[in-house]
Structure formats: structure tokens, C-alpha cells
A and B are shown apart, each in its own frame.
Chain A
Amino acid sequence: MRNQKLKGQKSKIEIRFWKKILYGFSGPLKNRWLFTPFLLLFTFLTVGCRQDMAEQPRYDPLEASTFFADGQSARPLPPGTVARGYLREDTELYTGKSGKDFTNTFPFPVTRTVLERGQERYNIFCSPCHDRTGSGNGMIVRRGYTPPPSFHQDRLREAPVGYFFDVITNGFGAMPDYAAQIPPRDRWAIVAYIRALQLSQHATLEDVPAEERAKLSR
């Protein structure tokens, strides 16, 4: 009996509870606070739809622009302007020429670091056509591009270093210029490495240090 009575009381509480929920939506204004959880849920679900922080009013590199007529946010340099740090007064360093003739001296000392840099850059930018030994049978040539001359022919072995620098900078024959892809100092490093390649194909046993010779004759 007692138990049943308790259960009955509980039911009354429950009735009041459900009535309150219903009141939350439709009852007198003083009961409308029950609506709050639903309002919170709705707010929770709809925030985060604005992306003002993720897409700020500035350009990412190379982003399209609606402001400029050509649609590019990256602007070309107006003619005659020099960016800071890009003044090229040292003609030998930047053209490979002293006066009218190609220079045959490097504008900076060729160290092991320079040669290694040259090797790396040569393998990135030159080997697709000239191949890694410089004989001119790279992958792009095998796919049909005009074959370049071998670096190991006499004409190119005797050519001054400035000539190679000039060809990288301005292109020659079928070869496009690499001025935009390779900075000047790297071009010189590549020229130094081409000289090393040329030496490698015309070296004699006497050029090898005595302690290394045993390895070769084996």
C-alpha cells in the first residue's frame, strides 16, 4: 500500500514535470525559461558558420584578385624598379662578362661547399636534359627534346666559364633560359660543377691521389 502510494506521488511529480516542459513552449511567459536549453542547442549548432579568421582580408601568395584587371594579386615589377638587395652592379657576377668578352675566372672562390651546391643544383635543373654525367642524354631528351651537346666535347671544354653562365642566364638554341629558376650564385656553382664533370671524363690515373689509385686498378 505504502509503496503504491509513493509511486502515485512520483507520477504526480512526473505530470508536473511534463506539463512544465509543455509550458516552456506554450505556457505563460514566466515559464518560458524552460525553453532555454533548446535555444542554447540551436545557437551551438549554428555558430562557426562564419570564417572571417580563416579567410582574412589579405592575399595568400598568388591568390586571385578581383581588384586588379588581370585578376592577379601578385604584381609585376614596374619597369626600372630594383627590389632591395637586387641591385646588380657587379657585371661579372651577374652577366659572366668582363667588358665584351666572357670571363674565364669565377667571381668568388670555388670551395668544396660551392662544388657540392653546384652538384645538387645541376642534378635538379640540368640533369633532366644534360643527364648526370653531362653527355646530353637526359630523360627529357630521350622523350624527344632537341639533344644538347655533350659537355665533354673540345669546344665546350675550352669555353670560358662566363659562357656557361651566360647560357644558363639567357638560354641558347633549344635551351630555355633559367634566370628565373636559378639564382646567380647557384648558376656559378653549377658552372664550377660542369668543370668538375668535364675533368672527370678526361682525367688520367695521375690525377687520382696516390692512396686512392689502388681502388681503381682493382
Chain B
Amino acid sequence: MPQIFHRSTNTLSKLSIFGAVFILVVFVWVLMQINRSEYVTQANVVRVQPVQFSHEHHVNGLGIDCRYCHTTVEESSFAGIPPTKTCMNCHSQIWANSPYLEPVRESWRTGRAIQWTRVHNLADFVYFNHSIHVNKGIGCVTCHGRVDQMPLTWQQKSLQMEWCLECHRQPERFIRPREYVFSMDWQPPADQIALGQKLVREYNIPDVAFLTSCSTCHR
């Protein structure tokens, strides 16, 4: 009976034992990279909005504080999307005839809310509270990036659990003095770890075991 397979298949079959493991590892790795990619997380992707609102212009150009519009960020889990009234505080007189702002004026006339596209959307099984972070010295920029440099708004970070844990495991690396929480250009000092450890004690931030406990965020 003639041999079906050539002798070289011996080597191939041996290789394939290693190959199978290798392929499996690469396959899992590729899946993980896809899961972390901006295609999945939508980080750095500008969302299409009904009005081309520029944080860069309002924050950097005009110096308006985050809390002028996001009024509940210090007291509530939700930072707050301003009602049309807040826009009209200024835009009743400024750019009052601009076609870009027609959706705002239409909303003001009709009383129907502007339908903004949500930029940061956490999964519903995650409990997140803005006020606790802001009051314990986590700056806006730490999670949202330099919003004052965003002509259109995008999400800066992946918002994936490994990203949350990066800080929950070592809050001293990211914490800043409370008075700089809303500062856009605060830079961590050279001795950030020392300062961070001091602030973690001062602000009564619970230990890492608590911060990384499942039920801290999944409740």
C-alpha cells in the first residue's frame, strides 16, 4: 500500500502540536486586543451631535467652569447635562442668529429637549458616582482628559474595568488636592506618590481591599 502522506508531514504533525497551542494563544490575544480596541470601546471617537458644541471654546476660550453647566457633579451620581435654559443664558444675546444654534433655539421655543448623543455610557451593571470621586480629589481631567482641548467631544479613556482598577488599586498615583479637581492644567508634582499617600489618608479613602471589592462598583 502506497503511503498517502509524504515524509515531511511527520515534521508538520510535530509542529502542529506546538502550533495548536500557539494558534490558540494568538487567537485569545487577538480577541483581547479587539476587545480593548477603540473600535469596541469607542474611545477617541468623536460622537455626532445635533449641535457642534465645543468644550474647547467654552472652557479654554471663555474660561467657564465645568460646574456652570454640569451643576450636580458635586452632589449627585450624575454630573448633569445642562437644560436648554443654561445655553440660552448667554445665547439669547450671543450668536443669537447663528444657524449652528438653531437646534438650541428650536428646543427653547418648543420646550423639547435637545437629543444629545451620550459620549460616556457605562454598562448598567456598574454603579458609578461622580460626587464621591470629585469630593475625594479625583480631577475631571483624570477620567475625561483635556476637555478644554476638545473642539468636539470624545471619550478619552476605555472605561473598561481594568482601567477603573488601575486607579482603585493605587489611588495615590492619581489623586490631587481638592482645590484642583476642576483645574484643567494641574500637573502632578515630582513627589506625587508621597503627596498621594498623604491625601489618601487625609480624605479618608478606604483601603485597596475595599476599593477593589466587587460590590464597591457592582451593586
Interface residues of A (CB under 8 A from B): 7-8, 10-11, 14-15, 53-56, 58, 60-62, 64, 70-72, 123-125, 128, 139-140, 143-146, 174, 176, 180-181
Q: A54-B124, A56-B124 are in contact. Are A176 and B63 (CB under 8 A)?
A: no
Q: A123-B65, A124-B68 are in contact. Are A14 and B123 (CB under 8 A)?
A: no
A61 and B78 contact, CB distance less than 8 A:
yes
Q: Pick the contact of B3 from A8, A53, A125 — CB < 8 Å?
A: A8
A58 and B124 contact, CB distance less than 8 A:
yes
Chain B residues lying within 8 Å of A10, measured Cβ to Cβ, are 10
Binds A, one of B86-94, B141-149, B166-174, B187-195: B86-94
**For the complex, what is the distance from the CA of A147 to the CA of B145, rounded to whole Å?**
34
Q: Is B201 an interface residue (CB 8 A)?
A: no
A145 and B94 contact, CB distance less than 8 A:
yes
A144 and B94 contact, CB distance less than 8 A:
yes
Q: Whole-angstrom distance from the CB of B126 to the nearest CB of chain A?
A: 9
Q: Is B113 an interface residue (CB 8 A)?
A: yes
Q: Name the residue of chain A whose CB is nearest to the CB of B93.
A: A145
Chain A residues lying within 8 Å of B67, measured Cβ to Cβ, are 124
Interface of B is mostly: loop
Known: A55-B124, A180-B85. 11 other contacts (CB 8 A): A53-B124, A56-B124, A62-B81, A70-B112, A71-B115, A124-B68, A144-B94, A145-B94, A176-B88, A180-B71, A180-B83
Q: Whole-angstrom distance from the CB of A104 to the nearest CB of chain B?
A: 28
Q: Name the residue of chain B whose CB is nearest to the CB of A181.
A: B71
> What is the size, in residues, of chain B's interface with A at 8 Å between Cβ atoms?
34
B78 and A124 contact, CB distance less than 8 A:
no
A181 and B112 contact, CB distance less than 8 A:
no
Q: Is B4 an interface residue (CB 8 A)?
A: yes
- Give the A-B pair count, Cβ closer than 8 A: 73
Interface residues of B (CB under 8 A from A): 3-5, 7, 9-10, 13, 62-65, 67-68, 71, 77-78, 81, 83, 85-86, 88-90, 92-94, 112-113, 115, 118, 121, 123-125
B68 and A128 contact, CB distance less than 8 A:
yes
Chain B residues lying within 8 Å of A144, measured Cβ to Cβ, are 93-94
A54 and B93 contact, CB distance less than 8 A:
no
Q: Name the residue of chain A whose CB is nearest to the CB of B125.
A: A53
B93 and A7 contact, CB distance less than 8 A:
no
Q: A11-B4, A54-B123, A55-B124 are in contact. Are A181 and B10 (CB under 8 A)?
A: no
Chain B residues lying within 8 Å of A125, measured Cβ to Cβ, are 68
**For the complex, what is the distance from the CA of A180 to the CA of B108, rounded to whole Å?**
16
Chain B residues lying within 8 Å of A71, measured Cβ to Cβ, are 112-113, 115
A143 and B113 contact, CB distance less than 8 A:
no
